[in-house]
């Protein structure tokens, strides 16, 4: 006589938990930001510009890291390209954005050489320069990009697009709504930077401020923000990061940290 065991092996679905490339990339970027804050910056001279140093507090790092994580999660659910999608070539993800950002940085330098706007900013802040010194600037701007992008692109665009097009309009007019958001939202970063310069002294000299700072900043920051929104949507947020890095390398690091001090020393 044979007997059968009452034990039944539980069925397994075979499904594995998958973490998107966007989440992984974002966590790596946050890890770099934390590394810079906790290990690298303490080894370098302190950040001279108070407004820049104020962005590297632990509370802001935690808040912006979480906001960016939510934004990355929303982005893949609202039609934005994943960070490392194989359909996007390295040329589209890195080379073209880097060149566009570098070109806008070169334009910003040309305008500043004509208007001396950054000298106006430095004097208004009571600083010798509008920028942090090299080598500190290299790590400040490469890691600070994580916080800037988290609020101005990673969270803002997917959240509003999801609310308007996906929730209110039942997934209709997604691209039309996206571009309707791009036009006004691309002004936010430039206006935020300009508002930080609106001191009583500036208000008394608003004409020079408007010509030397407001118009040049708008001429470079607005098209950069529009281009970043486009590549974020089409090629993923790494393309947007790369575009900004191209701008920062030319404008803040090469010109702001190395050339500007020589010209105004």
Radius of gyration of the chain (CA): 22
pLDDT tier, 15 (very low <50, low <70, confident <90, very high otherwise): low
Model pLDDT, residue 208: 76
Q: Give CA–CA dist 211/233, Å, rounded.
A: 33
Model pLDDT, residue 223: 96
Model pLDDT, residue 106: 97
Model pLDDT, residue 125: 65
239-262 average pLDDT score = 93
> Tens digits of per-residue pLDDT, 44-55?
988 877 778 888
The residue extents of the domains of the chain are 21-263
pLDDT tier, 120 (very low <50, low <70, confident <90, very high otherwise): confident
Instruction: Please say if the pLDDT value at position 145 is more than 50.
Output: yes
> Are the C-beta atoms of residues 227 and 215 closer than 8 Å to each other?
no
Q: Give CA–CA dist 197/126, Å, rounded.
A: 12
User: How many contiguous H segments (helices) and E segments (strands) does the chain have?
Assistant: 15, 0
Nearest 10 degrees: Cα torsion 202, 206, 212, 215: 120
Instruction: Please say if the pLDDT value at position 131 is more than 90.
Output: no
Q: Give CA–CA dist 231/94, Å, rounded.
A: 10
Model pLDDT, residue 7: 39
Comparing 230 with 12, which gets the higher pLDDT? 230
* pTM of the full structure: 0.87
């Amino acid at each position: 006589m044979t007997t059968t065991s009452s034990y039944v092996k539980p069925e397994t679905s075979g499904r594995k938990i998958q973490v998107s490339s966007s989440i992984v990339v974002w966590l790596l970027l946050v890890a770099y930001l934390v590394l810079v804050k906790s290990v690298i910056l303490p080894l370098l001279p302190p950040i001279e510009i108070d407004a820049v140093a104020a962005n590297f507090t632990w509370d802001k790092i935690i808040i912006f890291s979480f906001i960016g994580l939510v934004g990355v999660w929303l982005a893949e659910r609202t039609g934005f390209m994943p960070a490392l999608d194989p359909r996007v070539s390295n040329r589209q993800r890195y080379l073209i954005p880097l060149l566009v950002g570098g070109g806008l940085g070169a334009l910003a330098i040309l305008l500043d050489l004509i208007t001396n706007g950054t000298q106006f900013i430095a004097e208004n802040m009571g600083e010798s320069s509008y920028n942090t010194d090299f080598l500190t600037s290299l790590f400040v701007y490469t890691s600070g990009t994580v916080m800037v992008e988290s609020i101005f692109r990673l969270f803002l665009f997917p959240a509003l697009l999801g609310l308007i097009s996906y929730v209110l309009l039942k997934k209709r007019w997604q691209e039309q709504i996206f571009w309707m958001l791009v036009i006004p939202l691309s002004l936010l970063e430039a206006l935020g930077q300009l508002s930080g310069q609106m001191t009583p002294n500036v208000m008394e000299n608003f004409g020079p401020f408007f010509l030397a700072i407001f118009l040049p900043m708008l001429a470079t920051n607005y098209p950069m923000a529009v281009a970043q929104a486009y590549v974020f949507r089409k090629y993923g947020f790494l393309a947007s990061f790369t575009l900004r890095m191209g701008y920062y390398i030319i404008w803040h690091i090469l010109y702001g940290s190395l050339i500007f001090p020589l010209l105004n020393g």
